[in-house]
Amino acid sequence: MSTVLVSGGSGFIGSYCILQLLQAGYQVRTTVRSMSRKSHVLALLKQGGVEPRDRLTFCEADLEKDVGWPNAVAGCEYVLHVASPFPAEVPKDENELIVPAREGALRVLRASRDAGVRRVVLTSSFAAIGYGHPVQDAPFNEKDWTNPNGADVFPYTKSKTLAERAAWDFMAREGGALELSVVNPVAVFGPVLGPDLSTSILIVQMLLSGAMPACPKVSFGAVDVRDVADLHLRAMTDPAAKGERFLAVAGDFISMLEIARALRAGLGPNAKKVPTRELPNWVLRVASLFDPRVRQVLPELGKLKNATNEKARRVLGWTPRTNEECIVATGESLARLGLLKGGPKQAA
């Protein structure tokens, strides 16, 4: 089997991409910012039930530096470029996110082209599709692009939009024989493999731990990380994915209250602290005066958005799990690994 590079293998999506590639028989190489993260990646894979043995190698590479990337892509047939900054905190300077996201994507594409890589699959986001628009009834699809100057666009949203735009521009100008496909996930949930929790998973942890007394009136898309990784592998090898982007969304967008109900229905005693009512909007508006993270939520209060996975289903035969399945799987894994604050670790 050919060799595949996965950038950002210590992340939530990256680790699942490695798992599925190894299970499919590929040789895998992954980048980490520091070799000290190697043991972390191996622990995630062990939790996922895979012992890579001699089929996984590591390279040190940083999104903001040229060094390391030529060696990382050398001899690879495919590249899954998953690495991109996604902090829980809002940076003071938007360029802290924009520069590594955009320049990192260009570094990977340039190195991949020069090394004769066949195809790069870029992990973008719904953030590059569904923001900066007037309210609309029609679901968003792959033809839509976020307006980076929109009032509801924050640094992360802007970084993903500009990075993906830059990638497509690079391909049009100087991509050569290299091929590009893009996956645009919504909020990613599913079974966690370790204690470093992504921003999406923290929502479920907060609901289960009682840190959220009521649910804000916000809705968003959900998708299981296992299905996101599966879509990456399909986009990597299917000829029909060349030059295309694919929304990764399980189904219709769901509200925070619906997430809470799914947890209560699926997790029994572990969900006893999950709230059962919605939070008045004014409470969030007051909280936003003191917490910039809350400020990001305000433009989405009461706004109904939706997105369609029709293209991924039709073109690539992708069949994702339901919203409820991925939400419950998230909670079950948090309980199993003892990551519910104040709760006991369950036997596997």
* Three-state SS sequence of 291-305: CHHHHCCHHHCCCCC
**Sequence-ordered strand ranges (E) for 190-239:** 219-220, 222-224
Domain annotation covers residue 88: yes
Domain annotation covers residue 7: yes
- Which residue range forms the structural domain that includes residue 160? 3-186+224-248+307-312
Name the pTM for this structure: 0.93
What is the torsional sign of CA 182, 186, 189, 194? Answer: positive
Domain annotation covers residue 237: yes
Specify the CATH number for the domain of residue 75: 3.40.50.720
Domain annotation covers residue 296: no
pLDDT in tens, 69-128: 999 999 999 999 999 876 656 667 889 889 999 999 999 999 999 999 999 999 999 999
**Burial profile 119-154: b = 16 or more Cβ within 10 angstroms, e = fewer:** bbbbbbbbbbbbbbeeeeeebbebebbbebebebbb
| DSSP for residue 248 | E
Task: Give the pLDDT score at 344.
Answer: 40
Domain annotation covers residue 80: yes
Query: Strands 254-255, 219-220: parallel, antiparallel or unpaired by DSSP?
Result: antiparallel
Domain annotation covers residue 299: no
Domain annotation covers residue 322: no
Say how many domains are in the chain: 1
Is residue 242 flagged as an active site residue? no
Active-site residue among 38, 158, 160, 311?
160
The parts of the chain modelled with pLDDT lower than 50 are 342-348
Task: Give the pLDDT score at 298.
Answer: 67
Task: Give the pLDDT score at 343.
Answer: 45
Task: Give the pLDDT score at 296.
Answer: 66
Domain annotation covers residue 332: no
